[in-house]
Every structure is written in structure tokens, then in C-alpha cells.
Amino acid sequence: MRVKSRESKVPAEVAVERAGGGFYFRLSTLDSRLVGGRKAIGNFTMNRIEVGILGATGMVGQRFVSLLEHHPWFEVRWLAASDRSAGKTYGEACNWRVRDPMPKPARELTVHECKPDHAPQLLFSSLDSKVAGEVEREFAQAGHVVVSNSSNHRMEPDVPLLIPEVNPDHLALVRIQRKRRGWKGMIVTNPNCTTVGLAMSLAPLEKQFGVEKVMMTSMQAVSGAGYPGIPTLDILGNVVPFISGEEEKVERETQKLLGKFLDESVKPGDFAVSAHCNRVPVEDGHTESISVSLKTQASIEDLIEAWRKFRSLPQERNLPFAPKHPIIVREERDRPQPKFDLAAEHGMATVVGRVRPCPVLQFKYTALSHNTIRGAAGAALLNAELMKSEGYLD
Ligand code: NAP
């Protein structure tokens, strides 16, 4: 599929040297201290693929706009949201909640209705799930590549549910999707923000030892509920032990992600997963208490080594959004914590710690991941980068 690109300049002050070769760019949603110390290497000109964002005014949509500001491969040219926002400039329509300022080029763009008419071929979607199902289908049918965050299509058998480090081979499902549905376009999805930390930390364990049973209890940030989210009086000083549909999503998505791609479909992982999901008064970052039993013998040191050594296709190919270390192991007895560990690898790593024996299952540990970056916009960007590197956007 040929996707339109145009030549544009990436400014010198954001082009920074990356340890280990290649280049890096400023991840604008995180505190700028994160990139302090890296050295500017000068202007460069490149062909960047024009992209659009469906649901651009929401929590995740804003992350897309911010993360894409200096992306070396993709450039935001088109934004869309509900008819409440359509016709306004992005600056007028959007209640900007990201710490870094709204990128200037986006501020002046007009927000469109979610209609395929003049949209770029590659679209990131962060639409409200009430409308995402139908709208994304309409765009894919009209020939667009939709890289979605929404839950609507994730579990359809011919739709890839992807974490590029975990199951890059599942991307091949799009060939079956297009053939079956007669589409010129396609839909590719990333998992729920709670699934991602669980699946990422289980992936090396499944590969090396086999996973038998998993229990997961989440402490999920308020930003996971979109904007304006839960009323202050319902969440301050409180824990809400119910998030509609979340536990079922985490259980089924984890099995699909760690499943095997056989011929024309994915055979889900054969392990049992039980999830308890809770909303807590934390701004960003989902923390998870996980217990696991494995199919073969392993020690705590084996688990730690498997996590530390874990690398995959995005790291081999040095994809722009790939964390150098997808899983970071903290050894302090009280880490990971959202306050200190959320920014690891620019919000793209899963941070694990507190690995210890579990008297019920075999091992227990804590995992943390950034819900609107690795659990949403950053995840979709890495999916699109994988698609480009696999030739799906040529
Ligand atoms: P949000 O802040 O509520 O934003 C929803 C977006 O959808 C807004 O741009 C909104 O536009 C648009 N929208 C609402 N109704 C629409 C309609 N009828 N037609 C067209 N556009 C419409 O939600 P969010 O937190 O960004 O989440 C977006 C999606 O990503 C959801 O499906 C969510 O489940 C998923 N997700 C969220 C997270 C997270 O951590 N927040 C993580 C993973 C996945 P207006 O501003 O014009 O109303």
C-alpha cells in the first residue's frame, strides 16, 4: 500500500544523538529534563508520511499530537473529533492537558468530522469506544490504514492485536483481514492500557518457561478514564473496585497477545488469567500486582535474567519509538512507583520489581507502565513503525 509522504525539516534543537547509533528526537510529552544531556546533531530533511488522528481532542489524541511533533517518519496533517469540535481550530477545540505546550502547527489545524473524504491514508485512532467501531470500519473500507487504540476491533479474529516486542508476527493477520473483507485499507490495534504491562512482563516468561496461571490486581490511574474522567469527589481519598469491561479485556487480550499465529488465525495462549481492576487517585501510570505459576522449573534469578535480556524486533531494527530496554528491573524493595519510574525509556518501558515467591502461585511481582504512552499513543506509534519497517505502508 502506497502512503503519501512529503519532504519536511526536523529542527536541529530536537535532533539529538542517540547512544548506540542512529538519531533520536525529543519526546515532547515528557518533562524536557528527560532529554537533557543529549547533543543536537543538526537539521535534517526527510520525507515524512502524512498522518491524521481520529479523536484528536481527547486524552490519548493529545498524546498523539504531542508525541508526533518531531517524529522522523510521520507528520500530523489532519485532525478529527466529534461535531462538538468540528469546524474549530485545534487550539480552540481542545482542552490541552499534556504538560508540554501544544505544538504550534497542530494549533492552527482545523478539526474535521470523522469522515474519510480528505483524510490522509494513515490514521491513528483514539476515538471514544461508543463510536470507534463504526467509524474505524468506515475508514478501513474506504482504503485507510487505521492504527487504533480503541477496544472495539481488538478481539476480531482477523484483526492484529499487537505489541511489537511480543507478537510482531501477528501483523500478518491483516492480509487475511483485507482478503476476507474485501478492503483496500486495514485495522491494526494495540491492547488495553492495563493489558500492556501484564503481557509485556509475561512474554519472556512464556517464551522461556511457559505460563500456567496468572492473577493480576491493578491500581489504575485516573487519566485512563479519559477527560474529564471520574468526578473528584468519587476518586479523591478513594479506591473504586470496578472499571466496566476492563477485567474481561485484560484476560482475553493477554491470551490473544501471547497466542500463536497458525496459518490464518491466532490460537490464544492456553493459560488461565484472572484480573482484578481498580481505579486509584494517581494521575498517570497503571501499577499491577501479579502472581504467576510457570510450566517448567525456574528461579527468581531466572525470571530477572529473562526480563533483563528481553529484546525483540523493534530493538533490532532501532525503530524510533522502541525503548532500548523494553523491561526494566528495579531492585529496591519499594519500586516500581509511578512517581519515580513512569518516565523510564520515555514512558515506553514496563518497569518490574519486588519479585518474590508466592505461596499460592509460584512467583509474585509488581509491574508499572505508562497508560497513555505505552498503553495508548506510544503503543500505536510503535505499531505503525513496525508496519512501515515490514513494508505495509510502501
Ligand atoms: P477521551 O478523552 O474521552 O476522548 C475521546 C475522543 O473521541 C475525543 O476526541 C472526542 O471528541 C471523540 N469523540 C467522542 N464522541 C465522538 C463522536 N460521536 N464522533 C466523533 N468523535 C467523538 O478518551 P481517551 O481517554 O482519549 O480514550 C480514547 C480511546 O482510547 C478510548 O476508546 C479508550 O478506551 C482508549 N484508550 C484510552 C487509554 C487511556 O489511558 N486514556 C488507554 C488505552 C486506550 P470531542 O472532544 O469533540 O468530544
pLDDT at 355 over 60: yes
Residue nearest to atom 46 of ligand 1 (CA): 57
Q: CATH 3.40.50.720 region(s) of the chain?
A: 5-192+376-389
Q: Which of 384, 306, 382, 389 is nearest to 346 (CA)?
A: 382
Mean pLDDT over each residue of the chain, to the nearest integer: 91
105: CB partners within 8 A, 6+ apart:
76
- The Cα–Cα gap between 199 and 250 comes to 9
33: CB partners within 8 A, 6+ apart:
none
The tens digit of pLDDT for each residue in 88-97 reads 999 999 999 9
Residue 261 host element (H or E)? strand 260-262
Ligand 1 atom nearest 226 alpha carbon: 25
The preferred substitution site among 82, 153, 227 for testing ligand 1, maximizing ligand atoms within 8 Å of CB, is 82
Query: Rounded to the nearest 10 degrees, what angle do helices 300-309 and 193-209 cross at?
Result: 110
pLDDT at 117 over 90: no
153: CB partners within 8 A, 6+ apart:
132, 133, 136, 137, 159, 187, 189
- The Cα–Cα gap between 197 and 210 comes to 18
Q: Would residue 286 show up in a list of annotated catalytic residues for this protein?
A: yes
Give the residue, 47 or 363, on which the prediction is more confident: 363
- Amino acid of residue 247: E
Confidence tier at 40 by pLDDT (50, 70, 90) = very low
What is the 125 CA–ligand 1 centroid distance (Å)? 9
- The Cα–Cα gap between 380 and 125 comes to 9
What is the 46 CA–ligand 1 centroid distance (Å)? 31
Average pLDDT over residues 239-261: 98
The tens digit of pLDDT for each residue in 59-82 reads 999 999 999 999 999 999 999 999
The preferred substitution site among 29, 53, 59 for testing ligand 1, maximizing ligand atoms within 8 Å of CB, is 59
User: Are the C-beta atoms of 291 and 217 separated by less than 8 Å?
Assistant: no
Question: What are the CA-CA distances from residue 163 to residues 20, 39, 70, 328, 332 (Å)?
Answer: 23, 30, 23, 17, 28
Q: Which of 129, 250, 146 is nearest to 193 (CA)?
A: 250
C-alpha cell at 180: 476476507
User: Are the C-beta atoms of 386 and 164 separated by less than 8 Å?
Assistant: yes
DSSP helix/strand/coil, 364: strand
User: Are the C-beta atoms of 186 and 146 separated by less than 8 Å?
Assistant: yes
Catalytic residue (one of 286, 325, 346, 370): 286
Instruction: Answer whether CATH 3.30.360.10 is correct for domain 193-369.
Output: yes
Average pLDDT over residues 177-193: 97
Catalytic residue (one of 193, 277, 325, 370): 193
| CATH class, 5-192+376-389 region | alpha beta
Q: Which of 112, 106, 65 is nearest to 88 (CA)?
A: 112
Q: Which residue has the cell 529473562?
A: 306
Residue nearest to atom 39 of ligand 1 (CA): 224
Average pLDDT over residues 116-142: 97
Residue nearest to atom 21 of ligand 1 (CA): 82
Q: CATH 3.30.360.10 region(s) of the chain?
A: 193-369
pLDDT at 25 over 80: no
Instruction: Note the residue count of the chain.
Output: 394
Confidence tier at 263 by pLDDT (50, 70, 90) = confident
User: Are the C-beta atoms of 120 and 138 separated by less than 8 Å?
Assistant: no
What is the 56 CA–ligand 1 centroid distance (Å)? 8
pLDDT at 4 over 90: no
- Residue 326 CA to chain centroid, in angstroms? 12
Counting residues of the chain whose pLDDT is more than 90, the rounded percentage is 87
Residue nearest to atom 13 of ligand 1 (CA): 82
Protein residues whose CB sits closer than 6 Å to any atom of ligand 1: 55-61, 81-82, 84-85, 114, 126-129, 131-132, 149-151, 193, 223-224, 226-227, 371-372, 375-376
- Residue 283 CA to chain centroid, in angstroms? 17
pLDDT at 1 over 80: no
**Residues paired with residue 327 on neighbouring β-strands, in sequence order:** 350
Ligand 1 atom nearest 95 alpha carbon: 46
Confidence tier at 46 by pLDDT (50, 70, 90) = low
Average pLDDT over residues 18-45: 37
- Could you give the residue ranges of the DSSP H alpha helices within the chain? 59-67, 90-93, 104-107, 129-141, 173-181, 193-209, 232-235, 246-257, 300-309, 313-316, 338-341, 378-389
The preferred substitution site among 78, 112, 114, 126 for testing ligand 1, maximizing ligand atoms within 8 Å of CB, is 126
| Alpha-carbon dihedral 52, 54, 55, 60, rounded to 10 degrees | -60
Q: Which stretches of 62-155 are assigned E, i.e. beta strand? A: 74-80, 111-112, 122-125, 145-148
Query: Is-above-0.95 flag for pTM?
Result: no
What is the 329 CA–ligand 1 centroid distance (Å)? 32
User: Are the C-beta atoms of 246 and 306 separated by less than 8 Å?
Assistant: no
Identify the pLDDT of residue 339: 97
